[in-house]
C-alpha cells in the first residue's frame, strides 16, 4: 500500500513511498511523523496577495467553502447559518463549494449516477473578465476518497475550457499543486498541463481538511479547512472556516476566515 511519508524540502513534503507490508509499525510511525510535519510546517491562515499588486476595490469576490460533510438536519442548519452570516459580512459575488458535500460512505460519488452527470461534472462559469473552471476530480478507483485520477477521456473537455482570453481560476476537490501537503491528484501534472497556455491566476481545492498556501512563482495553490462542525482537520486542529478570494485587474488576494463551532 502507498503511504505518504515525510520528505523535507524546507517545510514541504510530497513523497509517495512503498513501505513493506510487514512493517506496519514503521508505516504508522512514518505516517504520524508526516502528519506532524504538515501541522507544524504547512497549515497557515495568513493573507496572501499577488506580488507587485494592489487591490483597492475588488471586481470579483468569491467565497470558497469545502468538505461540509453534512450528516443530518442539524448539520445542514448549522451550515446554513454559517453561510448566511458569511454572505452578510463579505457580500461575495459567487460561492464555490469544492466537494464532499455530505458524509456518506463515498461522499459525492452518488452525483455520478444523477441525471445531471454527463460523463464528468467539470464545468465553467464566466464572470466579467474571469473564467471559473470547476474540475471534477471524484472518480472511482483503488484510492477513491483519497487519491484519484481524472480520466484522459475528460481531457478534451478541460482543454476546451482552457481556450479563453479570460483570466482563469481553477477549483477542484483534490489538491493539484506540487507542494500540496497531502492527497494530491494522482495525475495532477497532466491536468495542469491542459492549462499551460492559459492565464491561470489561482488554484483552490479542498479535501485536505486544512488551510494552506503553496505559491509556485506567481501562481497560488491554496486549500481550505472544512466548513463542518464535526470534521477534525488533518492539521490536527479544530479550526473551521472558509476562504475569501478577491480579484482586481488580474491581481489576487485571499485569506482564510475562521468560524466558531
Global pTM value: 0.81
Which of the two residues, 147 and 194, has the higher pLDDT score?
194
Which of the two residues, 144 and 67, has the higher pLDDT score?
67
pLDDT of 36 over the 60 cut: no
Element spanning 158, H or E: helix 155-162
Strand order in the sheet with 167-172: 123-127, 130-135, 167-172, 200-205, 219-223, 212-216
User: Which of 25-29, 65-69, 133-137, 186-190 is least confident?
Assistant: 25-29
Domains located in the chain, CATH noted? 1-42 (no CATH), 45-259 (3.60.21.10)
Residue 144's pLDDT band, with cuts at 50, 70 and 90, is: low
Cα Rg for the chain, rounded, in angstroms? 18
pLDDT digits (tens, 9 = 90+) for 204-231: 999 888 888 989 888 999 999 999 988 7
Residue 256's pLDDT band, with cuts at 50, 70 and 90, is: very high
At 12 the pLDDT is 32
Half-sphere exposure of 159 toward its Cβ, with a 13 Å CA cutoff?
A: 8
Which of the two residues, 146 and 188, has the higher pLDDT score?
188
For residues 197-210, give the mean pLDDT.
Answer: 92
Amino acid at each position: 500500500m502507498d503511504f505518504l511519508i515525510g520528505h523535507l524540502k524546507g517545510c514541504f513534503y510530497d513523497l509517495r513511498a512503498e513501505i513493506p507490508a510487514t512493517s506496519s509499525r514503521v508505516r504508522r510511525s512514518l505516517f504520524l511523523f508526516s502528519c506532524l510535519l504538515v501541522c507544524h510546517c504547512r497549515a497557515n491562515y495568513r493573507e496572501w496577495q499577488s506580488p507587485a499588486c494592489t487591490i483597492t476595490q475588488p471586481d470579483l469576490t468569491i467565497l470558497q467553502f469545502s468538505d461540509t460533510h453534512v450528516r443530518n438536519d442539524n448539520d445542514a442548519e448549522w451550515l446554513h447559518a454559517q453561510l448566511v452570516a458569511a454572505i452578510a459580512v463579505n457580500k461575495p459575488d459567487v460561492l464555490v463549494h469544492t466537494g464532499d458535500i455530505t458524509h456518506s460512505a463515498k461522499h459525492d460519488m452518488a452525483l455520478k449516477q444523477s441525471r445531471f452527470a454527463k460523463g464528468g461534472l467539470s464545468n465553467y462559469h464566466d464572470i466579467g473578465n474571469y473564467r471559473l473552471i470547476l474540475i471534477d476530480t471524484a472518480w472511482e478507483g483503488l484510492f477513491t476518497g483519497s487519491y484519484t485520477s481524472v480520466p484522459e477521456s475528460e481531457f478534451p473537455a478541460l482543454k476546451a475550457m482552457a481556450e479563453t482570453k479570460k483570466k482563469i481560476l481553477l477549483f477542484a476537490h483534490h489538491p493539484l499543486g506540487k507542494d500540496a501537503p497531502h492527497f494530491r491528484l494522482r495525475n495532477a501534472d497532466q491536468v495542469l498541463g491542459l492549462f499551460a497556455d492559459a492565464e491561470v491566476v489561482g488554484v483552490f481545492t479542498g479535501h485536505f481538511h486544512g488551510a494552506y498556501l503553496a505559491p509556485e512563482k506567481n501562481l497560488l495553490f491554496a486549500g481550505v479547512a472544512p466548513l463542518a462542525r464535526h470534521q477534525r482537520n488533518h492539521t490536527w486542529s479544530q479550526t473551521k472556516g472558509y476562504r475569501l478570494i478577491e480579484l482586481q485587474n488580474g491581481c489576487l488576494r485571499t485569506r482564510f476566515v475562521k468560524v466558531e463551532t
